[in-house]
Amino acid sequence: MPVRDAEAADAGEICALIEEHARYEGNDTLVLDREEMAGHLFGPGPKAWVLIAEPPGEPGTVAGFAFCSWNFATWEGRPGIWLDDLFIRPQYRRHGLGRELLAELRERTSGRVEWEMQEGNDKAAAFYAQLGARPVPGWIRYRWSPAG
C-alpha cells in the first residue's frame, strides 16, 4: 500500500513538503523549524498527525502527504478529521496517490472529513467532486490569529 503513517524520521521531509506546497501556492518565504514540527507531531501529546504517500515500486520515496488533526462534531456526536494540508509533488500526480490518502482518511473515521480549498482551484474542485465531496453552503470559515 502506498500510504503509511508518518514516523519521527519523516519530520524533515514533512516540513519540506509543506514548504514545497507553499512555493507552489506562491509563498516563497515559508521556512519551518524542523525540530519544533517534530515535537508537535511526535512528541508527548502530539497536536497533529500525517499520512505519507509513497509511489508504487519506490518504497522510501515520499511523493506527498496529508497533514491532519482530529476534530469533533457535537451535532453528530462523533470525531472527525480536519485535513489541513494535502499535497502531492508534481512529478507524482495523476497516479492516484491523492485518492489513496483521502480514502485512508475516510477509513479512519465514521464522522466528517473536512478541509478548505482556495477559491478558483478548479482542478482540485473537480477531483473532490469525483470523490463525492461537496462544498458546505451557508458557512463561512473564520480565523482568529494571535496578535503580533
Check residue 145 and give its pLDDT: 81
Check residue 148 and give its pLDDT: 61
Check residue 120 and give its pLDDT: 87
Residue 43 — φ and ψ, nearest 5°?
-80, -170
Q: pLDDT under 70 in the chain at which residues?
A: 1, 148
Check residue 9 and give its pLDDT: 96
Q: Would 140 be classed as within a structural domain?
A: no
* The residue type at 105: L
Check residue 121 and give its pLDDT: 87
Q: Would 139 be classed as within a structural domain?
A: no
Active site residue 92: no
| CA distances for 3 relative to 6, 64, 103, 122, angstroms | 9, 9, 10, 25
The number of distinct structural domains making up the chain is 1
Q: Would 136 be classed as within a structural domain?
A: no
Catalytic residue among 24, 92, 128, 142: 128
143 CB-near residues (< 8 Å, 6+ apart) = none
Q: Would 49 be classed as within a structural domain?
A: yes
Annotate 16-70 with DSSP letters as a single string: HHHHHHHHHTT-------HHHHHHHHHSSS-S-EEEEE--TT-TT---EEEEEEE
Q: Return the C-alpha cell found at 148.
A: 503580533
Residues of the domain holding 118: 3-131
Q: Would 137 be classed as within a structural domain?
A: no
Check residue 1 and give its pLDDT: 57
